A and B are shown apart, each in its own frame.
Chain A
């Protein structure tokens, strides 16, 4: 027993080179024989072969083409209607309104544009306003806001961030909401009327809420002092943005949709990525399954024309659209999928041909396994 344990110890000492008090056992510096240190880690070594690449191309082709077709068909089934109401043309009903552009006009200009739908719009219809040549993605524009203020922070309400310059303070009063984005908020009012065959105008109910991101409405934008308090009091000591006709607490009568949590404001504050964009304005809810939301027929679009765009060659549009699982009308993706799928498939064929004609025949999938 003693002997054996002694031996083990000795052996141990011999291998690990643990130096005794004399230190005569030289510690070996031999590196450890681990797979990591010897670069022998087990590894998967993929290799590009005809057996893997060519099928990949065919599979991509075969997957993409049906998806593309599906997308294309879906997109084509979506109904969309668009009116440009900028009023550039003299013939346009809004021409007059467009001529008088000024932020501070107190008298509002109205115009109405008649139009007709050839096909009924089933299910919910979404009403958008679209702006063109409007650079919401400009760096100076994008940063010109105070998220803290919009979040209801009282300090920021009284002392908005420097980023808001030059829309930060007006007449020694802080602007709420501050910044260029809020200042340039879209403020046209759009109303839809259905013209019965007998000529009566039936207003179409437009839903103001549910048009903003949930997180925006519930987390990001908050009225100062909580939802219950009196907005007028809370905003006391602040001033409205320069170009607004009314202060922020008068945007709507519904307290849930007023002040910073007004959804029109929230939608506007979510800046667009591109200079031509559309934003959700209203939702027309489907009433019942029997009648279409918007039956075929004639309509009128009544516009309270406040928002000047002619100064920068902008365009204003109103868009009506239905929605599918993939959102609105979007032919690009379907076409892109179909073409990419076809190209891949074709590329597969070409590569297969090249491979067979010139290539390394045995590099292909016929590796025995």
Chain B
């Protein structure tokens, strides 16, 4: 059912057909392209259209059906090199001359792996089928033979005429024929398509709009000739041939699949593109299977190991050849060759394969299973995380893909959508300036704070007020009531000058449908202040001004566009005056004011600056009285321009320009584009973690820049913000070149300053160690960049990052992404701290992501909420969808989803980091343990005539990976933590090892296998030395094969268990259970397998009878095992200790401080707990007061808590000070400064929600990890772990994080000061410790 009925490649057998689907739908297009240059569609003529074999409207994203599932899935699985390899091994094992291991050692794990994967694939595909079916089975009304019939979406054909009703999804790409609205207009919402939530207007051709009735439409037999399917959402070119006339078609006549019909009762459309050909599907990009870089590395390593294995096999085979020739041939009387073997070379050949089988355990198949299990576990932890749960939308975070977790710990670039991702897409009328008086800022008047909590109540005097509207400044309401003319005129402009549609469902229940949320916010504001826009007709606007109904005659709308940046209406008041009301960007509006407005303009400008500084979107308002003559004169010109055929737009613009002069300024509005909670902190923390954030939005440049400022991606102290807006290749190239020059220039000049400063410092403090100069540079106040020695010119651009921002528009981007310029663009953009791309199409988003992916070798993450982000989400290494919003396309395409942008912080810095760490530790250990296990056979080969005799019992070989060693390492891989989640967030620098790929790379891998090989040497030769002439205490020699096998196996299990104990950093009960349990299981199974019971049942299978008892009762064996263990572990321990002692990583330091803190706390716990008890239940009011009143004490408190341990431990100080200095230095200082300012502001400021920065901080629920500042918090945590930090943190976080930063700043400042005054002292930090302690 889901297979398209008219597959273009009907003649293809089933298999290529599946392939075609897998490669992505556009392939079918390519096949056709050779023959078809244009598309011809004739309305109501299925026979005609079927000739062209156009795709029908069925979409299919699934891969299998019931019949094809098994073969195709197995085929796919065996494309995995690993699976094929194990299959091959299995076949080898069936040859008796080769078989060195029984067949079940391979087949059991292989079948297990294959079936797990198959089940997973089947489930995935089932859900794809379900969603496909759901979409394909949606109903639509198709006009067939003049009658409207219900048809499923998938049965809709190209050339059909379908009827759409209000709020229905458009089923395919349609040519709008007619509409229930006048002039063939209809309104659509394109949110699913391009993410823009404003409504758009589409208009049918005049000739078709007259058809109207189904009866007429059935007679319609026009033929459309148009372009081939493509992914350009904003362009369509074609022509309609009907009744010997040709009508040009543009995008304005098209309704695209994915849009929703709004405010239109119904409309008819002709299907032009269906199913996979629609622009929506063309834009959705290819689904590709995402793999993590660890996956790639793992595959490479597995190949290497395979090579290694072959080498070992060859060496041993050569050994076998030599042995068989020199020894074996003489030994024939005791041991003849197996029948087919007649010479030593053939024997060597067989021995090679035998050894391949034995040594295959270096890459056991359980590696892949374990990796999947670990990832699955991490995914569950993400799903379960309460701190990524949004109460409001009742959605928890979801790891939709379970294969990418560790990649989350390596992200370097984040590509974010704006609308709905960074912002809530809610606009609120926040402030205004009317006639030189600013309203809305209640914070300025002290004592008025208590009113903040209470928004103005409009409903009392205005029954039409919108209840959701919030405004806090009572003085504006007063002004309205006082009938101040300027205020009235101000709101009149807002109520008249717009393009909002109103809908009055019942009396007084107004619903506004606005093109943009801004407009809606403004009209709603006017509504609440008594100027209610009620309804409009094409020529009138009816409002209710302070309860009185007024109808204005609408003379003209001078519409908004990007260049004009303003819109006006000309109305005739009921009194007969003609008035022009205008609103627009202040920059354009101020040029067109009457000269008498000069003073007012200055005041308003100040206000505007203030508003803009708060990150608000501003508009200026003005009006102009027109005389009847002026109007008539202009109206004539206007009509002339309107009717012009060529340059209509330009002419109109000129006409508008003419009338919009000499206006009188009224004031300005400020609208807040509400950011989501915690955006600024999230972005700050992420950039501290060295993650670059790019915003890719379809929105306007101004909006994007605005958001950039309010989310602190752009800051005022940035060196320069480059704006690229060029339309031509040359101008873009020029822009890029100029930007780069400016960067180099400024970095040169700054380097100059820096060097000078460094010299000053160098005189004062010559720190002995290599960090000295860097530290010094970092401590220079205001120095934001680590002062590395001047980099070579090639990497100069890399080194200047952090100071610049780039804002580029879609058209410029189109040029910048062309092959010859992309390198330049890449260099420039990557040198910028922030990149904002506005007005980009979905595909461009994907191209930008692809560009970084291709050239930077960095892990990219794309986050978005709309269908327009789907391609980007699919392209990036990791796609994140914002859930809980309306559209779910993004979520469906994503790998992770949650409902708030701020959760990204936790996803990356906590879950990602942990996943990466765990996966790396897991892999290291895994390779280690298998090399240690397997390589023993290699050494044994030299003593058993290279005969591929195993050292261990066959059951031990089967179970070693599955049972004896799998669970401890799995537990580590799932539960390990080096530092707590709070600290991961608190020190974003901890994220860096992941980005630099430090924890598992080829080097680490070689260290692991070297350790494994070393262990195998010890494990073979120590028992060899100890046992070869040893005897039991009853005289029986110990050097028999079975004793040796048991001894070596036991030593191996113990050594790897000790090693996993060393590797495990976080011993939960589960880890204990697994580690001890594995050892216990080993001994239990060992004794069971060697018991007489099993032997009596299967004498042939269990010939190790009694070995365990007789071996493990010998003290000598235990001494041997102990010796081997110490020899294996001691060097590792010494090496780790040295590494930790001499070159600790930041995580080590943090972990250490964590430990110290715990110990200190335990020591002083009792006293503090009682204190916590006192202040804990004291209630929020008390806590509030205390904090407000004693900032200073709060500071000291935090200081001790957050960094005290660093300071008190002198040597540690040096390390952590380095870490922290870089941490601090990486900041945009503005963040810290803002916080610092807050700290110094009067205590009263604390309790009020601070405007931009502090408010989100204190609201955000614990994203900046709560420094376990408050003693009572820890008291609680410890007393009852179930209560958890989370809940306490929810309350405390705001203050905590604030305090942390203060502590940081304060500490840094002190450190710097101290350092400079201490002079030449190689013990820089310890004195600071004393000093800060003294405070």
Task: Give the interface of A toward B (CB within 8 A).
Answer: 26, 28-35, 37-50, 53-54, 56-57, 60, 64, 67, 71, 103, 124, 126, 128, 133-142, 144, 146-148, 151, 153, 161, 165-166, 180, 183-184, 210-216, 219-220, 270-280, 283, 308, 311-313, 321, 323-330, 332-333, 336-337, 340, 343-344, 347, 351, 354-355, 358-363, 367-369
Please indicate the chain B residues that have their CB under 8 angstroms from the CB of A31 in the complex.
Answer: 383-386, 389, 396
Flag whether B112 is at the interface (Cβ < 8 A). Answer: no
Contacts of B330 in A (CB 8 A): 311-313
- Cβ A332 vs Cβ B1026 within 8 A: yes
Does B663 belong to the interface (CB within 8 Å)? Answer: no
Q: Are B1065 and A46 neighbours in the complex by a CB distance under 8 Å?
A: yes
Is the beta-carbon distance between A361 and B327 smaller than 8 angstroms?
A: no
Q: Is B645 an interface residue (CB 8 A)?
A: no
Contact indicator A180/B334 (Cβ below 8 Å): yes
B335 close to A (CB within 8 Å): yes
B1025 touches A336 (CB 8 A): yes
Contact of B1068 among A43, A148, A324, A367 (CB under 8 A): A43
- Return the contact of B1155 from the options A47, A165, A340 (Cβ within 8 A): A47
Given contacts A40-B1285, A325-B1115, contact A330 B1030 (CB under 8 A): yes
Residues on B with beta carbons closer than 8 Å to the beta carbon of A32? 384
Which residues on A sit within 8 Å (CB–CB) of B1130? 57, 60, 340, 343-344, 347
When the two chains form their complex, are residues A274 and B948 in contact, meaning their CB atoms are under 8 A apart?
A: no
* Shortest Cβ gap from A236 to chain B (Å): 22
With A and B bound together, what is the CA distance between A243 and B328 in angstroms? 19
Distance between Cα atoms of A275 and B331 in the complex (Å)? 12
Q: A273 and B1039 in contact (CB under 8 A), knowing A147-B1103, A219-B1092, A336-B1026?
A: yes
Residue B1024 at the chain A interface, CB threshold 8 Å:
yes
Cross-interface CB contact of B384 among A37, A139, A146, cutoff 8 Å: A37
* B1179 contacts A by Cβ under 8 Å: no
On whether the beta carbons of B1282 and A273 are closer than 8 Å, the reply is no
Whether A273 and B384, one on each chain, are in contact in the complex, defined by CB atoms closer than 8 angstroms, is: no
- Give the chain A neighbours of B1159 by CB distance below 8 A: 367-369
Given contact pairs A28-B394, A344-B1126, a sample of 17 additional A-B residue pairs in the complex whose CB atoms are under 8 Å apart? A29-B395, A33-B1287, A37-B384, A39-B977, A41-B1069, A45-B1067, A48-B1136, A53-B1134, A135-B331, A274-B943, A274-B1044, A312-B334, A313-B330, A332-B1026, A336-B1025, A336-B1123, A354-B1142
- Whether B1099 and A275, one on each chain, are in contact in the complex, defined by CB atoms closer than 8 angstroms, is no
B1029 lies within 8 A of A330 (CB): yes
Chain B 1029-1048 near chain A by CB (<8 Å), digits 1 or 0: 11111111111111111000
Could you tell me if B1286 and A33 are in contact, using CB atoms closer than 8 angstroms? yes
- How far, in angstroms, from A42 to B1158 measured CA to CA in the complex? 13
User: Which secondary structure characterizes the binding site on chain A?
Assistant: loop
Tell me, rounded to whole Å, the shortest Cβ–Cβ distance linking B519 to chain A: 33
A71 and B1119 contact, CB distance less than 8 A? yes
Contact B331 A139 (CB under 8 A): no
For A40, give the chain B residue with the smallest CB separation.
B1284
Complex contacts, B35 vs chain A, CB 8 Å: none
Q: Are B1035 and A124 in contact (CB under 8 A)?
A: yes
Closest to B1131 in A: A347
Cβ–Cβ contact A326 & B1033, under 8 A: yes
Q: Are A138 and B945 in contact (CB under 8 A)?
A: yes
Complex Cα gap A124–B1031 (Å): 14
| Residue from A34, A41, A216, A323 in contact with B1033 in the complex, judged by beta carbons closer than 8 Å | A323
Q: Which of A38, A144, A213, A273 contacts B1284, CB < 8 Å?
A: A38
Residue of A nearest to B1134 (CB): A347
Listed by A's residue number, 23 A-B pairs whose Cβ atoms lie within 8 Å are A28-B391, A28-B394, A41-B975, A41-B1070, A43-B1071, A46-B1065, A48-B1140, A64-B1126, A137-B949, A138-B944, A142-B1041, A184-B335, A212-B1036, A213-B1106, A215-B1109, A216-B1106, A219-B1092, A273-B1040, A278-B1029, A326-B1033, A330-B1029, A344-B1126, A361-B1210
Task: For the complex, give the distance between the alpha carbons of A68 and B267 in Å.
Answer: 96
Which B-chain residue is minimally distant from A46 (CB atoms)? B1067
Interface pair A325/B1141, CB less than 8 Å apart: no
Interface size class of B (residues with CB under 8 A): 35 or more
Closest 10 CB pairs of A and B: A215-B1106, A273-B1044, A37-B384, A359-B1141, A139-B947, A126-B1035, A139-B949, A362-B1209, A327-B1031, A328-B1031
A contact residues around B1123 at 8 Å (CB): 333, 336-337, 340
A136 to chain B, nearest CB (A): 7
A330:B1026 contact, CB within 8 angstroms: yes
> How many whole Å from A166's CB to the nearest CB in chain B?
6
Write the nearest CB–CB distance from B1025 to chain A, whole angstroms. 4
Residues of B within 8 A of A44 (CB): 1067
- Chain A's closest residue to B940 (CB) is A137
| Given A39-B975, A45-B1154, A336-B1026: A354 touches B1041 (CB 8 Å cut-off) | no
B1068 CB to closest chain A CB (Å) equals 4
Q: Is the CB of A136 within 8 A of B1041?
A: yes
Inter-chain contact B1115/A326, CB cutoff 8 Å: yes
| Interchain CB contact under 8 A, B1106 and A135 | no
Could you say which of A28, A40, A54, A271 has the most chain B C-beta atoms within 10 Å of its C-beta? Answer: A40
Interface positions of B from 1105 to 1138, Cβ below 8 Å from A: 1105-1106, 1109-1110, 1114-1116, 1119-1120, 1123, 1126-1127, 1130, 1133-1134, 1136-1138
State in angstroms the CA–CA spacing of A40 and B1285 once bound together: 9
Do residues A139 and B1133 form an inter-chain contact, with CB atoms below 8 A?
Answer: no
A136→B333 CA distance, assembly (Å): 13
A35 to B1286, CA, bound (A): 11
Query: Which residue on chain A has the smallest CB distance to residue B974?
Result: A39
Q: Is the CB of B391 within 8 A of A219?
A: no
Question: Contact: B1068 with A368, CB < 8 Å?
Answer: no
A275 to B1067 Cα, complex, angstroms: 45
Given contacts A139-B944, A148-B1100, A330-B1029, contact A215 B1105 (CB under 8 A): yes
- State A332–B1120 Cα separation when bound (angstroms): 10
Question: Does B1335 reach chain A (CB closer than 8 Å)?
Answer: no
Q: What residue in chain B is nearest A336 (Cβ atoms)? A: B1123
Q: Give Cα distance in the complex from A128 to B1038, angstroms.
A: 13
Residues on the A chain within 8 Å of B1027, using CB: 273
Q: A37–B1092 contact, CB under 8 A? A: no
Contact of A215 among B335, B947, B1110 (CB under 8 A): B1110
Residue from A49, A328, A363 whose CB has the most chain B CB atoms within 10 Å: A363
- What is the distance, in angstroms, from A19's C-beta to the closest C-beta of chain B? 13
B943 to A, closest residue via Cβ: A274
The CA-CA distance from A308 to B389 in the complex, in Å, is: 81
User: A335: shortest Cβ distance to chain B, in Å?
Assistant: 9
Report how far A335 CA is from B100 CA in the complex, Å. Answer: 36
Task: Verify if B451 is at the interface (C-beta below 8 Å from A).
Answer: no
A363 engages B1152 (CB within 8 Å): yes
Q: Which residues of B contact A321 (CB under 8 A)?
A: 1031, 1035
Task: Kindly report which residue of chain A lies nearest to residue B351, judged by CB atoms.
Answer: A139
Q: Is the CB of A214 within 8 A of B1106?
A: yes
B1140/A323 in contact, CB under 8 A: no
Task: Specify which of B334, B1136, B1142, B1144 lies most central, judged by the most chain A CB atoms within 10 Å of its CB.
Answer: B334
B1156 engages A367 (CB within 8 Å): yes
Tell whether B233 is near chain A: CB-to-CB under 8 Å: no
B352 to chain A, nearest CB (A): 14
Closest to A162 in B: B96
Among residues of A, the one whose C-beta sits closest to the C-beta of B1137 is: A53
A270 touching B977, Cβ below 8 Å: no
Q: Which residue of B lies closest to A328 (CB)?
A: B1031
> Would you list which residues of chain B between 289 and 331 have a CB under 8 Å from chain A?
327-328, 330-331
> A54–B1095 Cα gap in the complex (Å)?
48
Closest to A37 in B: B384
- How far is the CB of B778 from the nearest CB of chain A, in Å? 21
Contact call B1092/A215, Cβ cutoff below 8 A:
yes
Cα separation A165 to B1105 with both chains bound (whole Å): 23
B470 proximity list for chain A (CB < 8 A):
none
CA distance A214 to B1134 in the complex (A): 44
User: CA separation between A136 and B945, bound complex, in Å?
Assistant: 10
> Is residue B981 contacting chain A, with contact meaning CB distance below 8 A?
yes
A79 to chain B, nearest CB (A): 13
Asked if B1109 and A38 make an inter-chain contact with CB atoms under 8 angstroms apart, the answer reads no
